[in-house]
Amino acid sequence: MTTSAKTFFVLPLLIIALFTLLNAEQLNIDVKEHVLDNGMKILVVENHDAPVFSTIVRVKVGAVDERPGQTGLSHFLEHMMFKGTKIFGTTDYEAEENLMAQIDSIGELLMDEWRKLQDPMNYPPDSTRYKELRDQIAKIQESQKEHIVKDELWETYLKHGGTMLNASTGDDGTQYYVSLPSNRLELWMLMESDRFKNMVFREFYSERDVVYEERRMRTDNSAWGKLYEQFSATAFTSSAYQHPVVGWASDIESWDHELLKEYFENYYTPNNTVAVIAGDVNPEEVFSLAEKYFGDWERGPEPPRQTTFEPEQKGERRVTVEFDANPMLLIGYHIPAAGHPDMAALDALSDILSRGRTSRLNKSIVEEQKIASSVSANSSFSRYPSLFTFSGTPLKGHTTQELEDAIYAEIEKVKAEPVTTWELQKVKNQFDAAMIKSVNSNMGMCWRLANYEAMVGDWSYINEYWQAYKNVTTEDIMRVANQYLKESNRTVATLVKPDEAGDESEGALSEKESSSY
């Protein structure tokens, strides 16, 4: 690639090669890595084009780590991480500590009452005491308020020029991100390390209500959200991917302080966390500041991991969801986890099926048969075995059944005959171009690296995976199509109007991700 030096818009001029050029054809993403004694990993990608940098702190915990009764906790914890610490968000932590201890002890009684109310063997239910306790908590919270400085972390980032400030929780990970002007590196280190070391869970109950409203917005009152939730619950019978990231409604109501604290202690440890910084920074400076600020964060035990996995599916499963909206369709086939050697072939297959106007599903189902306004395929890239999905919305006058049949017909074609070398080379060219362009976005680069770290434990898999994608053959694609895309391995979910017996479908399937703070 050309590196003719032209300064056009940034004064501190330095052109740094973002890629290591291995040979004319092969590029590699250049990442500097440092591991603190406590196990926290720091990754840096230099990009001195503009005086800014982006960061992601990714904690390797997500909805998939939750057990029954805990669902939604990863996401709730992400919300609570903005509630201040012992030194931010408070004018008098000692006074607060006292009040919060009172809230906690009443909270225990409150949750006991709540559990009684849920227990069918405790008849008749009486909620008087429950309401009394909630009022008591509200009162103490009111007096705590005089010591609270609201959302100080958020505000501090914003007034120092922070953009893209947020956090999100998915099945496999929780990430905290922000972009800042390059002279704010130390500020970021201070703020970010502090919240991991000194977190205080303020305003527990009102934030729990906020999360419940988030659930109503994303799931209960959304056709797509409802369909996706039921689809996952059907496709997975034992894998923890069966429950929603935001949590089941009844779990949200039952979370208590102890549960959250324990979860935090189990997973929010330096040895379970990676930080990625991309932009106008010096790696050595990043590493020494990381030592200074994150170095005294205490290492924890290895976090508990799931040991319950999905058995092989033996027969198709179907689920219908009633909702006042036009029909939608969602189909999923079980496939392996991110590190499996078949993933690149499955990825290429999904690209050939649904990436771009020349893709098979678009040409056949949207343009020629005119059955759907959109239809897409996606091969998920997950920590544990997940799904290869198809989603689509039939055009008026067509049913989800017709759309389903049309998708199956396309699947049969890729099983019976190899895709063309032209199709395969096309998606490889697109993969290469996307990798080349990816260095243009600091935040995009952070996401990619953090993702690989969290899925397979090593960012350098990005280069391995790129190579694996280049090596995919048309035979590989035919083989994985036959191996995974079969009826007995399939789950089908359809959305129907409550008053209609028929069925039908929307939108590209996004990651089960969601839930920003």
Partner 1 sequence: MRLRYLITAVFVLALNAGLMAQDTGTEGAEMIEELEFPKITWDIPELGEEVIVDTLENGIVLFMMEDHRLPVFNISGIVRTGSMYEPEGLEGVASMTGYVMRTGGTETYEPDSLNALLEYLAASIETWIYNEQGGLSLNCLSKDVDRLLPVLADVVMNPEFRQDKIDLEKDKIKENIIRRNDNPSRIASREFDHLVYGDHYYGRILEWETVEAVTRQDMIDFHGKYFVPNNIWLGITGDFDMADIKAKLNEVFAGWQPSEIDFPEDPEVEKEYKPGVYLIDKELSQSVINFGHLGITQYNPDRYAIAVMNYILGGGSFTSRMTSVVRSDMGLAYSVGSRFETDTRDLGQFYAYCQTKTETTYKAIYNMLDQIKKIRESEVTDYELNSAKDSYINRFVFNFTDPAAIVRQLMNLEYDGMPRDFYKNYIANIQAVTKDDVLRVAKEYLHPDKMSYIIVGNTSEIADQLKEFGEVTFIELQEPIVDADM
Q: In the window 105-144, what residues touch partner 1 (CB under 8 A)?
A: none
Element at 317 (helix H, strand E): strand 317-322
Number of residues forming the site for partner 1 (CB under 8 A) = 91
The stretch near partner 1 (CB under 8 A) out of 37-45, 55-63, 174-182, 305-313 is: 174-182
Q: Can you tell me the distance from the alpha carbon of 183 to that of 505, in angstroms, rounded to the nearest whole number? A: 49
Closest by CA to 462, choosing from 482, 443, 442, 435, is 435
Tell me: does residue 409 bind partner 1 (CB under 8 A).
no
Choose which of 119, 126, 146, 186 interacts with partner 1 (CB under 8 A).
186
Burial class (CB within 10 angstroms; exposed 0-12, middle 13-18, buried 19+) of 311: exposed
Q: Can you tell me the distance from the alpha carbon of 82 to that of 295, in angstroms, rounded to the nearest whole number? A: 22
Number of neighbours of residue 7 by Cβ within 10 angstroms: 11
Tell me: does residue 440 bind partner 1 (CB under 8 A).
yes
The stretch near partner 1 (CB under 8 A) out of 127-135, 186-194, 455-463, 468-476 is: 186-194
Tell me: does residue 190 bind partner 1 (CB under 8 A).
yes
Please say whether the beta carbons of 258 and 266 come within 8 A. no
Per DSSP bridges, beta strands 41-46 and 163-169 are unpaired
The stretch near partner 1 (CB under 8 A) out of 125-133, 270-278, 339-347, 356-364 is: 356-364
Closer residue to partner 1 in complex, CB, 255/267: 255
Closer residue to partner 1 in complex, CB, 123/422: 422
Tell me: does residue 187 bind partner 1 (CB under 8 A).
yes
Tell me: does residue 422 bind partner 1 (CB under 8 A).
yes
Tell me: does residue 32 bind partner 1 (CB under 8 A).
no
Cα angle 450-225-343, degrees, rounded to a multiple of 5:
40
Closer residue to partner 1 in complex, CB, 149/409: 149
The stretch near partner 1 (CB under 8 A) out of 45-53, 262-270, 298-306, 485-493 is: 45-53
- Encoded one letter per residue, x for contact with partner 1 by CB under 8 A and - for no contact, window 196-215 reads -------x-xxxxxxx-xx-
Closer residue to partner 1 in complex, CB, 4/128: 4
Choose which of 360, 426, 490, 512 interacts with partner 1 (CB under 8 A).
426
Tell me: does residue 179 bind partner 1 (CB under 8 A).
yes
Closer residue to partner 1 in complex, CB, 240/329: 329
Residue 279 region, left (φ>0) first, then alpha (ψ -120 to 50), else beta? left
Strand partners, 379: 388
Burial 167-178 (b: 16+ CB within 10 A, else e): bbbbbbbbbbbb
Please say whether the beta carbons of 51 and 280 come within 8 A. yes
Closer residue to partner 1 in complex, CB, 358/482: 358
Tell me: does residue 250 bind partner 1 (CB under 8 A).
no
Q: Can you tell me the distance from the alpha carbon of 350 to that of 342, in angstroms, rounded to the nearest whole number? A: 13
Tell me: does residue 347 bind partner 1 (CB under 8 A).
no
* Cβ 341 to partner 1 shortest distance, Å: 25
Choose which of 14, 22, 101, 158 interacts with partner 1 (CB under 8 A).
158
Tell me: does residue 418 bind partner 1 (CB under 8 A).
no
Please say whether the beta carbons of 359 and 372 come within 8 A. no
Tell me: does residue 104 bind partner 1 (CB under 8 A).
no
Closer residue to partner 1 in complex, CB, 278/456: 278
Q: Can you tell me the distance from the alpha carbon of 115 to that of 125, in angstroms, rounded to the nearest whole number? A: 11
Number of neighbours of residue 78 by Cβ within 10 angstroms: 23
* Cβ 264 to partner 1 shortest distance, Å: 20
Q: Can you tell me the distance from the alpha carbon of 49 to that of 15, in angstroms, rounded to the nearest whole number? A: 7
Q: In the window 490-509, what residues touch partner 1 (CB under 8 A)?
A: 506
DSSP-H helix ranges across 322-399: 343-354, 360-361
Please say whether the beta carbons of 410 and 365 come within 8 A. yes
Tell me: does residue 421 bind partner 1 (CB under 8 A).
no
Q: In the window 279-318, what residues touch partner 1 (CB under 8 A)?
A: none
Tell me: does residue 87 bind partner 1 (CB under 8 A).
yes
Closer residue to partner 1 in complex, CB, 176/236: 176
The stretch near partner 1 (CB under 8 A) out of 118-126, 183-191, 301-309, 470-478 is: 183-191
Closer residue to partner 1 in complex, CB, 184/448: 184
* Cβ 468 to partner 1 shortest distance, Å: 19
Please say whether the beta carbons of 320 and 375 come within 8 A. no
The stretch near partner 1 (CB under 8 A) out of 96-104, 269-277, 359-367, 445-453 is: 359-367
Q: Can you tell me the distance from the alpha carbon of 260 to that of 53, in angstroms, rounded to the nearest whole number? A: 32
Q: In the window 11-30, what residues touch partner 1 (CB under 8 A)?
A: 11-12, 15, 18
Q: Considering just the CA atoms, what is the radius of gyration of the chain in Å?
A: 25
Tell me: does residue 101 bind partner 1 (CB under 8 A).
no
Closer residue to partner 1 in complex, CB, 35/190: 190
Q: Which residues contact 490 (CB under 8 A, 6 or more apart)?
A: 313, 316, 317, 331, 332, 333
Closer residue to partner 1 in complex, CB, 283/336: 283
Q: Can you tell me the distance from the alpha carbon of 514 to that of 517, in angstroms, rounded to the nearest whole number? A: 9
